[in-house]
Amino acid sequence: MATKRVTVVLFGATGDLSRRKLLPGLLHLFESGLLQDIQVVGTSLDEHTTESFVELAHEAVAEHGDDADMKAWSEFSERLHWAPGAEGAAGLRAAVEKAETDWDGDNVRLHYLSVPPKAALAVVSMLEEADLAKGSRIVMEKPFGVDLASAVDLNSKLHRVFDESQIYRIDHFLGKEAAQNILAFRFGNGLFEPIWHRNHIDHIQIDVPEELGLEQRASFYEATGAYKDMVVTHLFQVLAFIALEPPTSLSPDAINEEKNKVFRSMLPIDPACVVRGQYQGYRDIEGVAPESETETFIALKCFIDNWRWAGVPFYLRTGKRMAEGARIISIAFKEPPRSMFPKNSGVGDYGPDHLTFDLADRAKMSLSFYGKRPGPGMKLDKLSMQFAMQDTTWAGSVLEAYERLIYDAARGDRTLFSSAEGIERLWEISTPLLENPPIVRPYRQGSWGPNQIHQLVAPYAWRLPFERRWRDPNTMG
Protein backbone atom coordinates (compact mmCIF):
# COMPACT_ATOMS: atom_id res chain seq x y z
CA MET A 1 0.00 0.00 0.00
CA ALA A 2 1.36 3.42 -0.94
CA THR A 3 2.53 5.54 1.95
CA LYS A 4 0.43 8.63 2.57
CA ARG A 5 2.29 11.89 2.65
CA VAL A 6 0.96 14.48 5.08
CA THR A 7 1.10 18.16 4.23
CA VAL A 8 0.56 20.26 7.36
CA VAL A 9 -0.46 23.83 6.54
CA LEU A 10 0.29 25.71 9.74
CA PHE A 11 -1.61 28.99 10.10
CA GLY A 12 -0.18 31.21 12.82
CA ALA A 13 3.15 29.45 12.36
CA THR A 14 5.11 32.20 14.13
CA GLY A 15 2.82 32.37 17.19
CA ASP A 16 3.39 31.18 20.74
CA LEU A 17 1.53 27.85 20.44
CA SER A 18 3.37 27.01 17.25
CA ARG A 19 6.77 27.73 18.78
CA ARG A 20 6.10 25.97 22.11
CA LYS A 21 4.12 22.92 20.97
CA LEU A 22 3.40 22.50 17.28
CA LEU A 23 6.81 22.84 15.62
CA PRO A 24 8.61 20.76 18.31
CA GLY A 25 5.76 18.26 18.10
CA LEU A 26 5.97 17.90 14.33
CA LEU A 27 9.73 17.35 14.59
CA HIS A 28 9.15 14.65 17.22
CA LEU A 29 6.54 12.90 15.06
CA PHE A 30 8.99 12.96 12.16
CA GLU A 31 11.96 11.74 14.23
CA SER A 32 9.93 8.90 15.79
CA GLY A 33 8.85 7.69 12.34
CA LEU A 34 5.13 8.21 12.95
CA LEU A 35 4.92 10.95 10.32
CA GLN A 36 7.92 10.18 8.15
CA ASP A 37 6.55 11.61 4.91
CA ILE A 38 5.63 15.09 6.09
CA GLN A 39 5.79 18.55 4.55
CA VAL A 40 5.08 21.66 6.63
CA VAL A 41 3.87 24.89 5.04
CA GLY A 42 4.00 27.76 7.53
CA THR A 43 2.10 30.99 7.08
CA SER A 44 1.19 34.05 9.16
CA LEU A 45 0.84 37.80 8.84
CA ASP A 46 4.49 38.21 9.88
CA GLU A 47 6.97 38.83 7.08
CA HIS A 48 9.18 35.82 6.51
CA THR A 49 10.94 33.83 3.84
CA THR A 50 11.41 30.08 3.89
CA GLU A 51 14.94 30.65 5.17
CA SER A 52 13.90 32.90 8.05
CA PHE A 53 11.00 30.56 8.93
CA VAL A 54 13.43 27.65 9.10
CA GLU A 55 15.60 29.75 11.41
CA LEU A 56 12.60 30.57 13.63
CA ALA A 57 11.61 26.89 13.72
CA HIS A 58 15.14 25.88 14.71
CA GLU A 59 15.09 28.31 17.63
CA ALA A 60 11.67 26.98 18.68
CA VAL A 61 12.60 23.28 18.66
CA ALA A 62 15.95 23.97 20.32
CA GLU A 63 14.25 25.82 23.17
CA HIS A 64 11.06 23.80 23.59
CA GLY A 65 11.75 20.43 21.97
CA ASP A 66 13.53 17.26 23.03
CA ASP A 67 17.30 17.17 22.55
CA ALA A 68 17.00 13.62 21.19
CA ASP A 69 14.87 14.89 18.30
CA MET A 70 17.51 17.34 17.10
CA LYS A 71 19.42 14.63 15.27
CA ALA A 72 16.57 14.65 12.75
CA TRP A 73 16.56 18.43 12.40
CA SER A 74 18.69 18.61 9.26
CA GLU A 75 16.36 16.35 7.28
CA PHE A 76 13.22 17.86 8.83
CA SER A 77 14.28 21.42 8.00
CA GLU A 78 14.27 20.57 4.28
CA ARG A 79 10.54 19.86 4.61
CA LEU A 80 9.67 23.34 5.88
CA HIS A 81 8.15 25.87 3.47
CA TRP A 82 6.74 29.37 3.79
CA ALA A 83 3.62 30.97 2.31
CA PRO A 84 3.69 34.78 2.75
CA GLY A 85 0.41 35.88 4.32
CA ALA A 86 0.44 39.07 2.26
CA GLU A 87 0.08 37.03 -0.94
CA GLY A 88 -3.30 35.68 0.13
CA ALA A 89 -4.97 32.61 -1.34
CA ALA A 90 -2.81 32.52 -4.48
CA GLY A 91 0.44 32.56 -2.49
CA LEU A 92 -0.86 29.85 -0.17
CA ARG A 93 -1.89 27.64 -3.08
CA ALA A 94 1.50 28.07 -4.76
CA ALA A 95 3.40 27.18 -1.57
CA VAL A 96 1.32 24.04 -0.99
CA GLU A 97 1.75 22.91 -4.59
CA LYS A 98 5.51 23.44 -4.33
CA ALA A 99 5.65 21.37 -1.13
CA GLU A 100 3.72 18.56 -2.81
CA THR A 101 5.80 18.26 -5.97
CA ASP A 102 7.64 15.01 -6.69
CA TRP A 103 5.00 12.91 -4.98
CA ASP A 104 2.55 10.68 -6.83
CA GLY A 105 1.12 8.73 -3.88
CA ASP A 106 -1.91 9.48 -1.70
CA ASN A 107 -1.74 12.79 0.11
CA VAL A 108 -3.40 14.12 3.26
CA ARG A 109 -3.68 17.87 3.74
CA LEU A 110 -4.02 18.97 7.34
CA HIS A 111 -4.77 22.65 7.93
CA TYR A 112 -3.91 23.62 11.52
CA LEU A 113 -5.53 26.92 12.56
CA SER A 114 -3.28 28.20 15.36
CA VAL A 115 -4.94 31.62 15.10
CA PRO A 116 -7.20 33.79 17.31
CA PRO A 117 -10.89 32.75 17.19
CA LYS A 118 -11.89 35.91 15.31
CA ALA A 119 -9.46 35.00 12.51
CA ALA A 120 -10.62 31.39 12.04
CA LEU A 121 -13.41 32.05 9.54
CA ALA A 122 -11.13 34.30 7.47
CA VAL A 123 -8.70 31.36 7.18
CA VAL A 124 -11.55 29.06 6.18
CA SER A 125 -12.55 31.53 3.43
CA MET A 126 -8.95 31.67 2.22
CA LEU A 127 -8.77 27.88 2.04
CA GLU A 128 -11.95 27.84 -0.02
CA GLU A 129 -10.63 30.57 -2.34
CA ALA A 130 -7.32 28.70 -2.71
CA ASP A 131 -9.23 25.50 -3.55
CA LEU A 132 -7.48 23.72 -0.66
CA ALA A 133 -10.59 22.69 1.28
CA LYS A 134 -11.86 19.74 -0.72
CA GLY A 135 -10.67 16.42 0.70
CA SER A 136 -8.55 18.09 3.38
CA ARG A 137 -8.85 18.17 7.18
CA ILE A 138 -8.95 21.22 9.39
CA VAL A 139 -7.78 21.36 13.02
CA MET A 140 -9.39 24.11 15.09
CA GLU A 141 -8.43 25.51 18.49
CA LYS A 142 -10.95 26.51 21.16
CA PRO A 143 -13.14 28.35 21.89
CA PHE A 144 -15.82 26.90 19.64
CA GLY A 145 -18.20 29.80 20.20
CA VAL A 146 -18.96 31.57 23.48
CA ASP A 147 -22.63 30.59 23.81
CA LEU A 148 -25.24 28.55 21.94
CA ALA A 149 -26.03 31.18 19.30
CA SER A 150 -22.36 31.84 18.42
CA ALA A 151 -21.56 28.10 18.33
CA VAL A 152 -24.47 27.41 15.97
CA ASP A 153 -23.40 30.33 13.78
CA LEU A 154 -19.75 29.19 13.72
CA ASN A 155 -20.65 25.61 12.83
CA SER A 156 -23.05 26.78 10.12
CA LYS A 157 -20.33 28.86 8.46
CA LEU A 158 -17.76 26.08 8.79
CA HIS A 159 -20.13 23.58 7.21
CA ARG A 160 -20.50 25.75 4.11
CA VAL A 161 -16.87 24.91 3.30
CA PHE A 162 -16.06 21.74 5.26
CA ASP A 163 -18.07 18.64 5.97
CA GLU A 164 -18.29 17.79 9.68
CA SER A 165 -16.12 14.72 9.04
CA GLN A 166 -13.29 17.06 7.93
CA ILE A 167 -13.32 19.20 11.10
CA TYR A 168 -11.11 18.29 14.07
CA ARG A 169 -11.83 20.46 17.13
CA ILE A 170 -8.77 19.93 19.27
CA ASP A 171 -8.78 19.42 23.04
CA HIS A 172 -5.28 18.79 24.37
CA PHE A 173 -6.72 17.39 27.61
CA LEU A 174 -7.99 14.33 25.74
CA GLY A 175 -4.59 13.86 24.13
CA LYS A 176 -3.18 12.83 27.48
CA GLU A 177 -2.30 9.15 27.77
CA ALA A 178 -4.23 8.93 31.04
CA ALA A 179 -7.46 10.21 29.47
CA GLN A 180 -7.40 7.30 27.03
CA ASN A 181 -6.44 5.00 29.87
CA ILE A 182 -9.92 5.59 31.28
CA LEU A 183 -11.35 3.73 28.28
CA ALA A 184 -8.87 0.88 28.69
CA PHE A 185 -9.47 0.72 32.43
CA ARG A 186 -13.25 0.67 32.15
CA PHE A 187 -13.81 -1.58 29.16
CA GLY A 188 -10.75 -3.82 29.31
CA ASN A 189 -11.36 -5.13 32.83
CA GLY A 190 -14.25 -7.21 34.05
CA LEU A 191 -13.44 -6.05 37.58
CA PHE A 192 -14.45 -2.40 37.13
CA GLU A 193 -17.14 -2.05 34.47
CA PRO A 194 -19.86 -3.78 36.60
CA ILE A 195 -19.33 -1.30 39.45
CA TRP A 196 -19.14 1.79 37.19
CA HIS A 197 -22.68 2.66 38.16
CA ARG A 198 -24.82 4.73 40.54
CA ASN A 199 -25.36 1.58 42.65
CA HIS A 200 -21.69 1.64 43.64
CA ILE A 201 -20.35 5.13 42.89
CA ASP A 202 -21.16 7.91 45.35
CA HIS A 203 -19.79 10.95 43.52
CA ILE A 204 -17.08 11.95 41.03
CA GLN A 205 -14.64 14.88 41.05
CA ILE A 206 -12.76 16.34 38.11
CA ASP A 207 -10.25 18.78 39.56
CA VAL A 208 -7.86 20.88 37.47
CA PRO A 209 -6.28 23.64 39.60
CA GLU A 210 -3.49 25.66 37.99
CA GLU A 211 -0.65 27.63 39.57
CA LEU A 212 -0.29 29.90 36.55
CA GLY A 213 -1.68 33.41 36.54
CA LEU A 214 -3.03 35.49 33.68
CA GLU A 215 -0.43 38.22 33.27
CA GLN A 216 0.15 37.30 29.60
CA ARG A 217 -3.45 36.45 28.67
CA ALA A 218 -5.55 39.00 30.53
CA SER A 219 -7.04 40.71 27.47
CA PHE A 220 -8.19 37.34 26.07
CA TYR A 221 -9.37 36.10 29.44
CA GLU A 222 -11.44 39.18 30.27
CA ALA A 223 -13.92 38.23 27.55
CA THR A 224 -13.81 34.52 28.36
CA GLY A 225 -13.37 33.44 31.98
CA ALA A 226 -12.70 30.05 33.51
CA TYR A 227 -16.03 28.46 32.57
CA LYS A 228 -15.81 29.14 28.84
CA ASP A 229 -12.04 28.63 28.72
CA MET A 230 -11.79 25.37 30.67
CA VAL A 231 -15.09 23.74 31.59
CA VAL A 232 -16.96 23.65 28.26
CA THR A 233 -13.94 22.75 26.16
CA HIS A 234 -11.97 20.51 28.56
CA LEU A 235 -13.63 19.31 31.75
CA PHE A 236 -16.96 18.35 30.17
CA GLN A 237 -15.07 16.35 27.55
CA VAL A 238 -13.24 14.42 30.28
CA LEU A 239 -16.58 13.90 32.05
CA ALA A 240 -17.96 12.28 28.90
CA PHE A 241 -15.13 9.72 28.83
CA ILE A 242 -15.85 8.80 32.43
CA ALA A 243 -19.61 8.58 31.97
CA LEU A 244 -20.17 7.13 28.50
CA GLU A 245 -21.88 3.80 27.94
CA PRO A 246 -19.89 0.93 26.39
CA PRO A 247 -19.51 1.80 22.68
CA THR A 248 -20.29 -0.83 20.08
CA SER A 249 -16.63 -0.67 19.06
CA LEU A 250 -13.56 1.53 19.53
CA SER A 251 -14.24 3.27 16.23
CA PRO A 252 -14.30 7.08 16.44
CA ASP A 253 -17.95 7.26 15.35
CA ALA A 254 -19.07 4.76 17.99
CA ILE A 255 -17.22 6.56 20.80
CA ASN A 256 -18.38 10.01 19.70
CA GLU A 257 -21.98 8.81 19.59
CA GLU A 258 -21.73 7.65 23.21
CA LYS A 259 -20.10 10.94 24.23
CA ASN A 260 -22.93 12.87 22.61
CA LYS A 261 -25.47 10.72 24.47
CA VAL A 262 -23.82 11.80 27.72
CA PHE A 263 -24.11 15.46 26.70
CA ARG A 264 -27.75 14.99 25.71
CA SER A 265 -28.41 13.45 29.14
CA MET A 266 -26.79 16.27 31.13
CA LEU A 267 -29.16 18.50 33.07
CA PRO A 268 -28.85 22.28 32.53
CA ILE A 269 -26.29 23.85 34.87
CA ASP A 270 -28.02 25.33 37.92
CA PRO A 271 -26.41 28.68 38.87
CA ALA A 272 -27.15 27.83 42.53
CA CYS A 273 -24.72 24.89 42.17
CA VAL A 274 -21.86 27.06 40.92
CA VAL A 275 -19.13 28.96 42.78
CA ARG A 276 -17.28 31.64 40.81
CA GLY A 277 -14.09 33.22 42.09
CA GLN A 278 -11.42 35.74 41.13
CA TYR A 279 -7.93 35.72 42.59
CA GLN A 280 -6.85 38.81 44.51
CA GLY A 281 -4.63 40.95 42.32
CA TYR A 282 -6.26 39.95 39.02
CA ARG A 283 -7.83 43.41 38.61
CA ASP A 284 -4.39 45.01 38.92
CA ILE A 285 -3.16 43.33 35.71
CA GLU A 286 -2.88 45.52 32.62
CA GLY A 287 -5.86 44.98 30.37
CA VAL A 288 -8.23 44.00 33.18
CA ALA A 289 -11.16 46.28 34.00
CA PRO A 290 -10.95 47.82 37.52
CA GLU A 291 -14.39 46.38 38.36
CA SER A 292 -13.96 43.14 36.41
CA GLU A 293 -16.44 40.35 37.18
CA THR A 294 -14.57 37.77 35.10
CA GLU A 295 -14.07 34.54 37.01
CA THR A 296 -10.56 33.06 37.23
CA PHE A 297 -11.97 30.14 39.24
CA ILE A 298 -15.07 28.02 38.95
CA ALA A 299 -16.47 25.02 40.80
CA LEU A 300 -19.79 23.42 39.98
CA LYS A 301 -22.02 20.44 40.59
CA CYS A 302 -23.76 18.83 37.63
CA PHE A 303 -25.81 15.72 36.93
CA ILE A 304 -26.29 13.21 34.12
CA ASP A 305 -29.93 12.21 33.99
CA ASN A 306 -29.78 8.64 32.70
CA TRP A 307 -30.14 5.17 34.23
CA ARG A 308 -26.44 4.71 34.94
CA TRP A 309 -25.79 8.06 36.63
CA ALA A 310 -29.14 9.33 37.98
CA GLY A 311 -28.52 11.10 41.28
CA VAL A 312 -24.70 10.88 41.17
CA PRO A 313 -23.18 14.37 41.51
CA PHE A 314 -20.20 15.31 39.34
CA TYR A 315 -18.06 18.03 40.91
CA LEU A 316 -15.83 20.06 38.59
CA ARG A 317 -13.24 22.61 39.73
CA THR A 318 -10.59 24.67 37.96
CA GLY A 319 -8.87 27.98 38.59
CA LYS A 320 -5.75 30.09 38.20
CA ARG A 321 -3.19 31.00 40.88
CA MET A 322 -4.17 28.06 43.06
CA ALA A 323 -2.17 26.13 45.66
CA GLU A 324 -0.74 23.66 43.16
CA GLY A 325 -1.21 22.48 39.60
CA ALA A 326 -2.92 19.12 39.16
CA ARG A 327 -5.25 17.19 36.85
CA ILE A 328 -7.18 14.69 38.89
CA ILE A 329 -10.23 12.50 38.29
CA SER A 330 -11.46 10.93 41.50
CA ILE A 331 -14.17 8.26 41.68
CA ALA A 332 -15.60 7.95 45.22
CA PHE A 333 -17.30 4.63 45.94
CA LYS A 334 -20.23 4.19 48.25
CA GLU A 335 -19.44 3.10 51.78
CA PRO A 336 -20.82 -0.15 53.24
CA PRO A 337 -24.47 0.19 54.34
CA ARG A 338 -23.51 -0.43 57.97
CA SER A 339 -20.32 -1.01 59.95
CA MET A 340 -19.65 -4.11 62.03
CA PHE A 341 -16.38 -2.66 63.29
CA PRO A 342 -16.06 -1.31 66.84
CA LYS A 343 -16.19 2.39 67.56
CA ASN A 344 -12.81 4.12 67.09
CA SER A 345 -11.65 1.31 64.79
CA GLY A 346 -10.83 3.91 62.15
CA VAL A 347 -13.31 2.79 59.52
CA GLY A 348 -14.92 5.77 57.85
CA ASP A 349 -12.43 8.22 59.34
CA TYR A 350 -10.74 8.85 56.01
CA GLY A 351 -13.79 9.01 53.78
CA PRO A 352 -14.87 6.60 51.06
CA ASP A 353 -12.70 4.38 48.90
CA HIS A 354 -11.39 6.25 45.87
CA LEU A 355 -10.15 5.36 42.42
CA THR A 356 -7.97 8.27 41.27
CA PHE A 357 -6.60 9.05 37.81
CA ASP A 358 -3.79 11.58 37.55
CA LEU A 359 -3.88 13.15 34.08
CA ALA A 360 -0.39 14.59 34.40
CA ASP A 361 2.12 13.83 31.66
CA ARG A 362 3.40 10.85 33.70
CA ALA A 363 0.10 9.05 34.03
CA LYS A 364 -0.71 7.47 37.39
CA MET A 365 -3.66 5.73 39.00
CA SER A 366 -4.38 4.79 42.60
CA LEU A 367 -7.01 2.76 44.41
CA SER A 368 -7.53 3.53 48.12
CA PHE A 369 -9.31 1.23 50.57
CA TYR A 370 -9.38 0.25 54.24
CA GLY A 371 -7.21 -2.53 55.60
CA LYS A 372 -6.40 -3.87 59.06
CA ARG A 373 -3.45 -2.38 60.89
CA PRO A 374 -1.01 -5.14 61.94
CA GLY A 375 -1.17 -6.05 65.61
CA PRO A 376 -3.79 -6.84 68.23
CA GLY A 377 -7.28 -5.44 68.07
CA MET A 378 -9.27 -4.29 65.04
CA LYS A 379 -7.77 -1.00 63.89
CA LEU A 380 -8.20 0.02 60.25
CA ASP A 381 -5.99 2.30 58.15
CA LYS A 382 -6.50 3.71 54.67
CA LEU A 383 -4.20 1.91 52.24
CA SER A 384 -3.59 2.53 48.57
CA MET A 385 -2.34 0.71 45.52
CA GLN A 386 -0.62 2.97 43.01
CA PHE A 387 0.18 2.31 39.37
CA ALA A 388 2.54 4.35 37.19
CA MET A 389 3.09 4.18 33.45
CA GLN A 390 6.50 2.61 32.91
CA ASP A 391 9.26 4.36 31.03
CA THR A 392 9.82 3.23 27.48
CA THR A 393 12.67 3.62 25.01
CA TRP A 394 10.49 4.15 21.90
CA ALA A 395 9.95 7.87 21.35
CA GLY A 396 6.62 7.32 19.61
CA SER A 397 5.10 5.73 22.69
CA VAL A 398 5.48 8.90 24.76
CA LEU A 399 3.64 11.53 22.79
CA GLU A 400 2.82 14.94 24.16
CA ALA A 401 -0.90 15.74 23.92
CA TYR A 402 -0.65 17.96 20.83
CA GLU A 403 1.58 15.41 19.10
CA ARG A 404 -0.92 12.62 19.67
CA LEU A 405 -3.80 14.71 18.37
CA ILE A 406 -1.93 15.89 15.27
CA TYR A 407 -1.02 12.27 14.58
CA ASP A 408 -4.65 11.18 15.04
CA ALA A 409 -5.89 13.94 12.73
CA ALA A 410 -3.34 12.93 10.09
CA ARG A 411 -4.65 9.35 10.33
CA GLY A 412 -8.28 10.50 10.22
CA ASP A 413 -9.02 9.24 13.75
CA ARG A 414 -11.67 11.53 15.32
CA THR A 415 -11.98 9.64 18.64
CA LEU A 416 -10.47 12.42 20.77
CA PHE A 417 -12.06 15.37 18.96
CA SER A 418 -15.30 17.23 19.66
CA SER A 419 -18.29 17.26 17.32
CA ALA A 420 -20.58 20.14 16.36
CA GLU A 421 -23.53 18.38 18.00
CA GLY A 422 -21.66 17.89 21.27
CA ILE A 423 -20.36 21.47 21.41
CA GLU A 424 -23.80 22.96 20.72
CA ARG A 425 -25.41 20.76 23.39
CA LEU A 426 -22.84 21.86 25.98
CA TRP A 427 -23.57 25.51 25.26
CA GLU A 428 -27.28 24.73 25.49
CA ILE A 429 -26.99 23.29 29.03
CA SER A 430 -24.72 26.24 29.93
CA THR A 431 -27.36 28.85 29.06
CA PRO A 432 -28.90 29.19 32.57
CA LEU A 433 -25.44 29.86 34.04
CA LEU A 434 -24.39 32.29 31.30
CA GLU A 435 -27.65 34.22 31.63
CA ASN A 436 -27.65 34.32 35.44
CA PRO A 437 -24.09 33.88 36.76
CA PRO A 438 -23.60 33.93 40.55
CA ILE A 439 -21.44 36.67 42.08
CA VAL A 440 -17.66 36.48 41.78
CA ARG A 441 -15.97 35.88 45.14
CA PRO A 442 -12.34 36.84 45.86
CA TYR A 443 -9.80 34.19 46.84
CA ARG A 444 -6.22 34.27 47.96
CA GLN A 445 -3.48 33.45 45.47
CA GLY A 446 -2.03 30.08 46.42
CA SER A 447 -5.30 28.85 47.98
CA TRP A 448 -7.86 26.27 46.82
CA GLY A 449 -10.50 28.85 45.90
CA PRO A 450 -13.30 30.67 47.74
CA ASN A 451 -14.57 29.12 51.00
CA GLN A 452 -18.00 28.51 49.43
CA ILE A 453 -16.57 25.48 47.61
CA HIS A 454 -16.92 23.49 50.84
CA GLN A 455 -20.67 24.12 51.02
CA LEU A 456 -20.94 23.15 47.35
CA VAL A 457 -19.38 19.71 47.87
CA ALA A 458 -20.86 19.01 51.35
CA PRO A 459 -21.44 16.46 52.83
CA TYR A 460 -18.39 15.29 50.89
CA ALA A 461 -14.91 16.82 50.84
CA TRP A 462 -12.64 17.83 47.98
CA ARG A 463 -10.10 15.14 47.15
CA LEU A 464 -7.43 17.79 46.62
CA PRO A 465 -5.30 18.58 48.50
CA PHE A 466 -4.29 14.96 49.03
CA GLU A 467 -3.65 13.79 52.57
CA ARG A 468 -1.08 11.30 51.23
CA ARG A 469 1.31 12.14 48.41
CA TRP A 470 1.88 10.06 45.32
CA ARG A 471 4.74 7.61 45.82
CA ASP A 472 7.68 7.60 43.46
CA PRO A 473 7.72 4.11 41.91
CA ASN A 474 11.48 4.40 41.35
CA THR A 475 12.16 4.65 45.08
CA MET A 476 9.78 1.96 46.25
CA GLY A 477 11.26 -1.22 47.65
Radius of gyration of the chain (CA): 24
Residues 135 and 265 in one domain: no
> Both 360 and 284 in a single domain?
yes
Are 191 and 251 members of one domain?
yes
**Measured between alpha carbons, how far is 341 from 145 in angstroms, rounded to an integer?**
54
Residue stretches of the annotated binding site for substrate: 172, 176, 210, 229, 320
**Cα(473)–Cα(477) distance, integer angstroms:** 9
Tell whether 66 is covered by a domain.
yes
The pLDDT value given to residue 393 = 45
**Whether residue 110 sits in one domain with residue 250:** no
- Please give the C-alpha separations between residue 326 and each of 101, 207, 329, 362, in angstroms, as whole numbers: 46, 7, 10, 12
User: Which tops the pLDDT comparison, 194 or 439?
Assistant: 439
pLDDT band at 394 (very low <50, low <70, confident <90, very high): very low
Which of 135-139, 254-258, 322-326, 358-362 has the least mean pLDDT? Answer: 358-362
What is the C-alpha to C-alpha distance for residues 111 and 40, in angstroms, rounded to an integer?
Answer: 10
d(CA 25, CA 407): 10
Query: Where does the pLDDT of residue 396 fall: very low under 50, low under 70, confident under 90, or very high at 90 and above?
Result: very low
Tell me which of 126, 141, 156 is where a domain ends: 141
Residue 313 has pLDDT above 80, yes or no: yes
The per-residue pLDDT for 391 is 46
Residue 406 confidence class, pLDDT cut points 50, 70, 90: very high
Residues 179, 106 within the same domain: no
The verdict on 330 and 387 lying in the same domain is yes
Q: Are residues 110 and 55 in the same domain?
A: yes
pLDDT at 349: 61
Identify the pLDDT of residue 67.
Answer: 85
Residue 369: what pLDDT?
76
Per the structure, how many domains does the chain have? 2
**By residue range, what is the domain housing residue 91?**
5-141
- pTM tops 0.85: yes
pLDDT band at 361 (very low <50, low <70, confident <90, very high): low
Contact 89, 130 (CB under 8 A): yes
Task: Please list the residues that pair with 5 across neighbouring strands.
Answer: 107
User: In whole angstroms, how far apart are CA 224 and each of 124, 142, 230?
Assistant: 23, 11, 10
Full strand arrangement of the beta sheet holding 297-302 = 380-388, 364-372, 354-358, 328-333, 201-209, 314-319, 297-302, 274-279, 440-443
**Mean pLDDT of the 91-109 span:** 86
Mean pLDDT of the chain, nearest integer: 87
Residue 234 designated active-site: yes
Per-residue pLDDT, 346: 59
Lowest-pLDDT range, 124-133, 208-217, 464-473?
464-473
How does DSSP assign 173-194, residue by residue? GGGSHHHHHHHHHHHS-TTTGG
Establish if 409 belongs to a structural domain: no
CB count within 10 Å of CB 412 equals: 14
pLDDT of residue 206: 95
Rounded Cα distance between 460 and 97, Å, is: 60
The number of residues in the chain equals 477
Mean pLDDT of the 150-161 span: 95
When mean pLDDT is compared across 264-273, 336-345, 424-433, the lowest value belongs to 336-345
Assigned domain for 164 exists:
no
Q: In the prediction, which pLDDT does 341 show? A: 67
DSSP label at residue 311: T
CATH number for 128: 3.40.50.720
- Which of 184 and 260 is assigned the larger pLDDT? 260
Could you tell me if residue 163 is inside a domain?
no
| Residue tagged active-site, from 48, 58, 203, 234 | 234
Shared-domain flag, residues 106 and 240: no
Mean pLDDT to the nearest integer, 75-84 = 94
Query: pLDDT, tens digit, for every residue of 197-216?
Result: 999 999 999 999 999 998 87
Least confident of 15-29, 265-279, 359-373, 429-443: 359-373
CATH assignment at residue 238: 3.30.360.10
pLDDT digits (tens, 9 = 90+) for 163-183: 999 999 988 777 666 667 788
**106 and 219 part of one domain:** no
The reply to whether 203 falls in a domain is yes
Whether residue 381 sits in one domain with residue 265: yes
Span 20-38, mean pLDDT?
Answer: 92
Predicted pLDDT of residue 121: 94
Q: pLDDT exceeding 70 applies to what percent of the chain?
A: 90
More confident residue, 382 or 274: 274
Last residue within a domain, chosen from 141, 156, 186: 141
Boundary-marking domain end, from 141, 166, 190: 141
Establish if 157 belongs to a structural domain: no
Residue 313 domain-assigned (yes or no): yes
208 lies in some domain: yes
255 and 332 in one domain? yes
pLDDT digit string, tens, across residues 410-449 = 999 888 888 999 999 999 999 999 999 999 999 999 999 9
262-281 average pLDDT score: 97
Q: Which residue has the higher pLDDT, 68 or 389?
A: 68
Pairing state of beta strands 380-388 and 364-372? antiparallel
